[in-house]
Amino acid sequence: MPIRILSSEVASQIAAGEVVERPASVVKELVENALDAGANSVSIKIEEAGRLLIEVADDGSGIPSDELALAVSRHATSKLASAKELFSISTLGFRGEALASIGSVSRMTITSRAAETEVGARIRVEGGSEGKVEQVGVPVGTVVQVENLFYNVPARLKFLKSDTTERRAIDTFVTRYALAYPNVRFKLAEGKKVTLQTSGDGDRRAILATLYGVDTAKQMLEVIAEDEGLKLSGFISPISVTRSNRREMTFFINGRWVQDIPLNAALTQAYHTMLMVGRYPLATLFLEVDPGAVDVNVHPAKAEVRFREQNLVFSFVQRAVRRALLAHTPVPSVPPTTLWGNRPTSTGPKESGLDWTMAQDAKQDNTTEVGTRSEREAEQPEFGHMPLLRLIGQIGATYLVAEGPDGLYLVDQHAAHERVLFEKLMLQYDKRDIPSQALLEPMSVTLPPAQTTLLEENLELLNRFGFQVESFGPNTFQVRAMPTLFTGSDAASALRALVEDFEEDEAPLQEELEARIAARVCKRMAVKGGQSLSNDEQRALITDLENCDSPRTCPHGRPTMIHLSVDMLERQFGRKGSR
């Protein structure tokens, strides 16, 4: 086929693909236009998840009748006059492409009246071809109706997700913008149902409740920080409220919602060591920077930005969040050297007639251990240490039974061992000193091709964990050594566990990856439920667990132990309480 210039119709559909991906992108562009027009009220109506209709009405400055035709042409904007201004943009739009793009893939009607004019005007665009501008009597402001989105690009229609998913994308977007602009009244109606309505009175916490629910919203911590021309405000979750993915981490930069990976990393790092492996905070943060210090023109849908001084911004955000987090996180009132670290001093240990003092002395001898612990405890107060336990025995070859200062403890031996191995391994890893032991006989492992690639990519990291694994022919690896911590375990099984983990991951950050690898190997290497342990092994496990920083959960966040307090036992046996 000879080279030729695409027809303007095809060219604009291609261009539209970048801006208009789904109904939510139309909502985004129209709401941004309304906010740029200084609206105090933005009302959004959708039918059939936006496929049939998206309507955005505002009371902003409006579009003059004689500019209406221009507004829908490509590269037509009132927000930018010269290339120089690209580096000092204070509006959400500037590319002059949204209305043209939307008009080329739908049936769009714009009705608008500019402030200080007598009448308004209307224009209709169908699949990119413009109709005539007619005069109409309407109030000041703009209404954009987008009907039959993608009616002329069936391929796009096919890529839309279920109505529920598309509706959720719209909800999410509108709620977040409502939060970012608390002084603007937002209303979102889906069919006859109003799903969001804000008062525009500036109260962000009220809007937060619609996003996260009242309970979570109440717990969210406020962040306010200012330094070197940077300003951060918004909300973050306390360490007790987490999610299993990063979807609830939202950043606005100068009023624009962006998906900026480095900022997400700054946020997660602020929570470092405070959250379980694979758990993420919730956050809605508003960053304000000098428009000249950030390039907003790096993404067609303006969803990414580039900072001139990325590191400065990164560390500012991290510090601000960390400070807010520590300021709001109660540090335990009991000195960590106290034996019953997680109980209030006033109650004190109960006299149980057992020889607890001996255990206490043994503990206090170990001063360095206690010292490092107390420091760490300040960082992760939510997990709390466990009391010293007196081992009673094992039941079902799965649980250890022990007596504590206040009742009975059931310990899940697998979860407990996972925790113990994990902390030991991570400690060695942090010191870059993982003792490794050569296998008597190197072991070969053959993997499916997809897993081979994954393992090859992560081989270096794996070997930093005390493994010695090498490529050994097609799809085959040879394990020559493994961490001493796991001596006697099945190396091949560890390797397979790791590859499975790589498969599941959506490109985690480096340090998450490390913790996940460690957690995964430890899971595979830990004693299983159903494995009987000798008395010595049981005792060693309990002692090791006592020495952990976060003994109460396994690295995946499941509990290692269940506590039946004396009080509870007494109630259950009818010795105490209501009768």
29 versus 248: smaller Cβ distance to ligand ADP: 29
77 versus 553: smaller Cβ distance to ligand ADP: 77
Handedness of CA 81, 84, 89, 93 (dihedral sign): positive
When CB distances are held under 5 to 8 angstroms depending on the partner's kind, the choice from Mg ion, ligand ADP, none that residue 95 binds is: ligand ADP
> For 29, phi and psi rounded to 5 degrees?
-65, -40
Residue 386, burial from CB neighbour count under 10 angstroms (0-12, 13-18, 19+):
buried
Applying CB under 6 A, which part among 97-105, 182-190, 465-473, 547-555 lies near ligand ADP? 97-105
Contact positions with ligand ADP (CB under 6 A) in 22-41: 29, 33-34, 37
91 binds Mg ion (CB under 5 A): no
When CB distances are held under 5 to 8 angstroms depending on the partner's kind, the choice from ligand ADP, Mg ion, none that residue 46 binds is: none
98 binds Mg ion (CB under 5 A): yes
| 192 contacts: CB under 8 Å, gap ≥ 6 | none
Query: Nearest to residue 68, comparing CAs of 156, 167, 144?
Result: 144
Taking the complex as a whole, the smallest distance from the CB of residue 154 to ligand ADP amounts, in Å, to 24
Contact in structure between 552 and 383 (CB atoms under 8 Å): yes
Applying CB under 5 A, which part among 98-106, 256-264, 312-320, 335-343 lies near Mg ion? 98-106
> For 501, phi and psi rounded to 5 degrees?
-65, -45
- In the set 23, 50, 62, 387, which binds ligand ADP (CB under 6 A)? 62
Contact positions with ligand ADP (CB under 6 A) in 139-168: 142
Instruction: Give the DSSP letter of residue 553.
Output: B
What is the rounded distance in angstroms from the CA atom of residue 37 to the CA atom of residue 60? 5
The number of residues that bind ligand ADP (CB under 6 A) is 23
103 binds Mg ion (CB under 5 A): no
- What number of H helices and E strands is found in the chain? 18, 23
What is the rounded distance in angstroms from the CA atom of residue 17 to the CA atom of residue 10? 11
What is the rounded distance in angstroms from the CA atom of residue 267 to the CA atom of residue 259? 13
- H/E segment holding residue 487: none
When CB distances are held under 5 to 8 angstroms depending on the partner's kind, the choice from Mg ion, ligand ADP, none that residue 359 binds is: none
Amino acid in the structure at residue 126: E
Taking the complex as a whole, the smallest distance from the CB of residue 125 to ligand ADP amounts, in Å, to 11
Instruction: Give the DSSP letter of residue 578.
Output: -
60 binds ligand ADP (CB under 6 A): yes
- In the set 12, 13, 33, 413, which binds Mg ion (CB under 5 A)? 33
When CB distances are held under 5 to 8 angstroms depending on the partner's kind, the choice from Mg ion, ligand ADP, none that residue 62 binds is: ligand ADP
33 versus 175: smaller Cβ distance to Mg ion: 33
Residue 349, burial from CB neighbour count under 10 angstroms (0-12, 13-18, 19+):
middle
Handedness of CA 74, 75, 77, 79 (dihedral sign): positive
Taking the complex as a whole, the smallest distance from the CB of residue 381 to ligand ADP amounts, in Å, to 48
117 binds ligand ADP (CB under 6 A): no
Handedness of CA 248, 249, 255, 256 (dihedral sign): negative
When CB distances are held under 5 to 8 angstroms depending on the partner's kind, the choice from ligand ADP, Mg ion, none that residue 64 binds is: none
221 binds ligand ADP (CB under 6 A): no
The number of residues that bind Mg ion (CB under 5 A) is 3
**Which residues are near ligand ADP by CB under 6 A?**
29, 33-34, 37, 58, 60-63, 71, 76-79, 93-100, 142
**Which residues are near Mg ion by CB under 5 A?**
33, 93, 98
